[in-house]
Structure 1
């Protein structure tokens, strides 16, 4: 059995959460490493750790790219160490505990947990794309989708922009199983991961209602996205700056009265993001705060 390689760096909680939202140029490596963040000291936001796992020994440029993810450790010397394959498989799942949010139960193969009766189970492994459910933005979106369904909302055409692992698209399809569904990401690796996760979780791929169409696309600039517009549910779990920059574009593909779920923004950024969408004819309908993060549900005025 072949060995793998590991890099470890101390980091802060803020740096760890930023890594989980945006892997930067690391996501473009072939193959990308598995990045795991964890607390070294419970409830201490300054004492976290980043572990990066590789299939082969990383070169100096890759080590530098990993260090660039953690500004607080830029002066620290770091050296890759060899780890046995079985240890890597175990460690790559570390910290990914089963999570139940509303009617959804998210787990890994290593730890299925005990799902509540009637829950929709999703198996999402740690890997190359963001969105395992454990990050507060993703779990907050699951909670927001669950609440939206409870309001009686009808959805016939939905899109998940920046889908990551596909989890939020899968959850929305479970709630509205007859809807047309589209999932996109700027990163082709994320789309590959989503397709693989769809197979694991029994989600059909395709163009028909109840199936998921996939596309690699930056923003909305893709024929497959524009052809299906307007959407009555848009999910965008990305970052505050692109959410603000893309407000006009997102509004242009949304149906009148359509729902918009925005995430990937800190609570301190929520007002600026909401303001950008109010200028496009939206009103704030609901908000969920998860730790330092905010999840907004906005409705396009008729």
Structure 2
């Protein structure tokens, strides 16, 4: 099989944030697979981005790749033809399984490596963000595991910006009697989530023990509003959208409900937390993975009540 590779240098922070920008390819019939790697082990901030296309990319597609890397502004990358390569398999070669609490997330290449006693999910690398490789997704999995260990019980769950569907699936494994809905602004992500649900034997639908899938921007969907209030909402997006969504996400929570927020950097945590405090949300605990904190907040029983 012949494919095409576009390579750009990038910084480590740009590489870590790349998964958040996969939506720029949403309009493409065949989006590229993005692979980031450390360029030189002795220079830890120098990374590279490889974008694999199954056909020669156009100028506009090359421009989309460049747009993902701010430090490469103005660059004119070229596409290199690669013969006899399966780019999906290639993209997974560097994706080692992830252990996050009781969860074990792996690609098909590690299907036989699942440790006994773990809650395993097979998530194929490719068209949507959220394979478990990024620190934000891992942090959310650890937060879910911690809530379960604390004895929390949830019956109505929403996963906003679901990507691959992984976080909604994980919540259902922990609380199998819950109803769950997973949404994403990217229609491709919802297609991927449906595929992953089938792979992992997660039932799709509106009943308890099933996940409902919806294409939506934030809370802007009839089904998301109709199913509120929730006692658990997970949102792994970006700091800016999380701040903008604070009234909608907090408003969709029942009193006492929990909110897991990720996709922000450490220096953005104070602003994000402040936005949710104004909506009656109180910090509960946080998970920190590298520069990426995951915030867990709880809605006050009575907004505006004296402390």
How far apart, CA to CA, are the structure 1 residues paired with 2:209 and 2:276?
A: 29
1:283 CA displacement: 0.6
Relative to structure 2, which stretch is displaced further, 177-186 or 77-86? 77-86
Conserved 8 A contact 2:36-2:47: yes
SS of structure 1 residue aligned to 2:193: helix
1:149 aligns with 2:132: no
Q: CA deviation at 1:92?
A: 1.5
Q: Is the 8 A contact 1:7 1:53 kept in 2?
A: yes
Task: Look up the match of 2:305.
Answer: none
The whole-number CA distance in structure 1 between the counterparts of 2:16 and 2:66 is: 15
The answer for unaligned runs of 5 or more in structure 2 is 302-307
User: SS state of the match for residue 29, structure 1?
Assistant: coil
Which piece of structure 1 moves more, 64-73 or 97-106? 64-73
Contact 1:161–1:235 (Cα < 8 Å) also in 2 = yes
The match for 1:161 is: 160
Q: Deviations over 1:39-88 (max 9, x none)?
A: 11236343101010112100111111111211222344421112235342
Mapped contact 2:3–2:85 kept (Cα < 8 A): no
- Note the alpha carbon deviations across 1:85-113, whole angstroms, 9 max, x for none: 53423321132101111111100111236
2:45 aligns to what SS in structure 1? coil
Contact 1:100 1:115 in 2 (8 A): no
| Equivalent residue number for residue 67 of structure 2 | 68
Cα separation, 1, equivalents of 2:43 and 2:137 = 22
Matches of 2:113 and 2:90, distance apart in 1: 21
Distance 2:36 2:217 in 1: 27
Q: CA deviation at 1:188?
A: 0.3
Measured against aligned partners, the alpha-carbon deviations of 1:19-55 in whole angstroms (never above 9, x if no partner) come to 1122352233222111111111236343101010112
CA contact (8 A) 1:36 1:92 kept: yes
Aligned counterparts of 1:224 and 1:173: Cα–Cα separation in 2: 18
* Contact kept in structure 2, 1:165 and 1:197, CA below 8 Å: yes
Q: Partner of 2:304 in structure 1? A: none
Instruction: Name the residue aligned to 1:41.
Output: 40
2:220 matched to which residue of 1? 221
Q: Deviations over 1:180-239 (max 9, x none)?
A: 000000000000000000000010001100001010001111111111100000000000
1:19 alignment counterpart: 18
Q: Which runs of 5+ in 1 are unaligned?
A: none
Q: Is the 8 A contact 2:88 2:125 kept in 1?
A: no
Deviation beyond 4 Å, 4+ runs, structure 1:
none
- In structure 2, distance between residues paired with 1:85 and 1:265: 39
**Matches of residues 1-302 of structure 1 in structure 2 within 5 Å?**
2-42=1-41, 44-112=43-111, 114-302=113-301
- TM-score (structure 2 length as normaliser): 0.95
Q: Per-residue deviation at 1:261?
A: 0.1
Change (3 A) 1:298 1:212: same
Instruction: Give distance in 1, aligned partners of 2:84 and 2:254.
Output: 49
Cα pair 2:98 2:104 within 8 Å, conserved: yes
Number of equivalenced pairs = 301
Point out the more displaced range, 74-83 or 226-235: 74-83
8 A contact 1:156–1:178 mirrored in 2: yes
Structure 2 Cα separation of the partners of residues 298 and 61 of structure 1? 41
Q: Secondary structure at the match of 1:110?
A: helix
